Structure 1
Amino acid sequence: MNQLILAFAAACVFTGCTAAPLKEPPMHHKNPTTVALLPQTSTTLAPDTVLRFDKVDDSRCPPDVVCITAGKIVYHFTLIFPVGAEPFDLEPAEPSYTSVQRPELVITLATDPPPPRPTNAPPAPPSAVRLTINQAPTESR
């Protein structure tokens, strides 16, 4: 057994086992954050960044109606920065958004939409939408 360890150690010395360290993966691969927001509420993502859930538009076909198109559900959000606002939409067909002002910030829909409601059903209470927030570390300039 000792010979095997010595052989491995010698191989490392002669072949350069001290290879360059692997680059640290971006934070969004390691520590995504999940948040749940109700319509017309917000959360602070960073000292200078707020995410607001504006509203939901649901044009999906109710189960008790025959529709020409299936419709869709769209969630409307706004990122608020000191230099302005960045509105964006998420939907099951396009569940991720990368910020224009902060490209290291990726927001992904992490919830399944509720089923469409029958036409005679009372309005559903607002339901929270879960989002995964990925923020890669910013590089010093």
Structure 2
Amino acid sequence: MNKLLFAIAAACVFTGCTAAPMKEPPMHHKNNQTVALLPQTSTTLAPDTVLRFERVDDSRCPPDVVCITAGKIVYHFTLIFPTGQEPFDLEPAEPTYISVQRPDLVIALATTPPPPRPTSAPPAPPSAVRLTISQPAESR
């Protein structure tokens, strides 16, 4: 019975977390760039706009454990403008974010999350997340 529960939980984890379709950013933007960021690093998107990758929270069920829920992986970011900061999250279920302060700026996950690690495995080194940034040419 435990093996059956594990198999069902594993199927939920792998189909629910890693096979989620990635939504494409709106195609009306003329310029797309791809960036890769490690946690606690930043990139300048425009003279007045910086994107910071804060951290990743991974609550997905490890493959060697039977879990009640599959959990999820969430990437936390902050857009930094002269007028303030705009924190936001991306995850496979909601992979696209449109800036509130700059609605022409669209940020989308362009990475596939790594599989959950077994509980006996050492912590994984930080890995980069890839993002597709869409914005008009004149704002760069």
TM over 0.5: yes
Q: Which residue of 1 aligns with 2:19?
A: none
Letter in 2 for 1:72: K
Q: Which has the larger radius of gyration?
A: 1
The 8 Å contact of residues 105 and 134 in structure 1, kept in 2 or not, is answered as yes
- Unaligned 5+ residue runs, structure 1? 1-24
TM-score, with structure 2 as normaliser: 0.77
The 8 Å contact of residues 106 and 133 in structure 1, kept in 2 or not, is answered as yes
Q: Which residue of 2 aligns with 1:32?
A: 32
Instruction: Output one character per residue of 1:26-65: Cα deviation in whole Å (capped at 9) or x when no partner.
Output: 4x2x431000000000000000000000000000000000
Instruction: Output one character per residue of 1:50-102: Cα deviation in whole Å (capped at 9) or x when no partner.
Output: 00000000000000000000000000000000000000000000000000000
- Give the superposed CA RMSD: 1.5
Distance 2:31 2:51 in 1: 18
The 8 Å contact of residues 31 and 137 in structure 2, kept in 1 or not, is answered as no
Runs (4+) off by over 4 Å: none
TM-score, with structure 1 as normaliser: 0.77
- Higher-RCO chain (CA-CA 8 Å, sequence separation at least 6): 2
Count residues with an aligned counterpart: 113
The 8 Å contact of residues 104 and 138 in structure 1, kept in 2 or not, is answered as no
The 8 Å contact of residues 38 and 129 in structure 2, kept in 1 or not, is answered as yes
Superposed displacement of residue 137, structure 1: 5.0
Q: Which residue of 2 aligns with 1:73?
A: 73
